[in-house]
């Protein structure tokens, strides 16, 4: 079954889905933007689990992902991924694509049916929104096409916090 792609303009912390993706920092310590909102609304349980991960394996590398419970959030899991700080290098695109691939791999391991992504790296990390949207959509579509036989995911939601991202995703999907 091919997952449905959906675009929403909403607060990702309010979604009742199996997993939400957090655009995290390497320390998994919460911060600004979506990362801060997830940690604030999710509560101390998420932070404790993140601290345990960092103690066990060190800071999370750019493009990698890990999962925790969702604490007080309506979702079941939070998948934390570290997007690239934009520098206009070819590595930026590879690392951003890896965020989506690694998050989807974890989602499959967790057997989630619904997963929601924020606009990774487009805030303080400075990734141009149109380019980031293109990478996100093409990477997710490619993942779906190559993993179709083992896929448990029924819906992939791109959650846009601002109108500019929302319109970009609408045009591309």
DSSP-derived 3-state class of residue 30: coil
Residue 74 near residue 113, CB atoms below 8 Å: no
pLDDT band at 150 (very low <50, low <70, confident <90, very high): low
Q: How many CB atoms lie within 10 A of CB 109?
A: 10
Could you give the domains of the chain? 4-172 (3.40.220.10)
Q: Which of 16, 18, 35, 162 is catalytic?
A: 35
Nearest in space to 64 (alpha carbons), one of 21, 29, 34? 21
Q: What percent of the chain has pLDDT over 70?
A: 98
Is 35 annotated as catalytic? yes
- The per-residue pLDDT for 146 is 86
pTM comes to 0.96
């Amino acid at each position: 079954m091919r997952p449905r792609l959906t675009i929403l303009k909403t607060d990702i912390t309010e979604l009742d889905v199996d997993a939400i993706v957090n655009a995290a920092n390497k320390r998994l310590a919460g911060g600004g933007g979506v990362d801060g909102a997830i940690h604030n609304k999710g509560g101390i349980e998420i932070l404790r689990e993140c601290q345990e991960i960092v103690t066990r394996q060190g800071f999370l590398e750019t493009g990698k992902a890990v999962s925790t419970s969702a604490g007080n959030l309506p979702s079941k899991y939070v998948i934390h991924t570290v997007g690239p700080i934009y520098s206009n290098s070819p590595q930026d695109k590879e690392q951003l694509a890896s965020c989506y691939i690694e998050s989807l791999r974890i989602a499959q391991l967790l057997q989630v049916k619904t997963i929601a992504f924020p606009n990774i790296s487009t805030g303080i990390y400075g990734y141009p929104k149109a380019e980031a949207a293109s990478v996100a959509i093409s990477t997710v579509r490619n993942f779906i096409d190559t993993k179709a036989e083992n896929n448990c995911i029924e819906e992939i939601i791109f959650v846009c916090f601002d109108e500019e991202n929302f319109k970009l995703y609408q045009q591309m999907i």
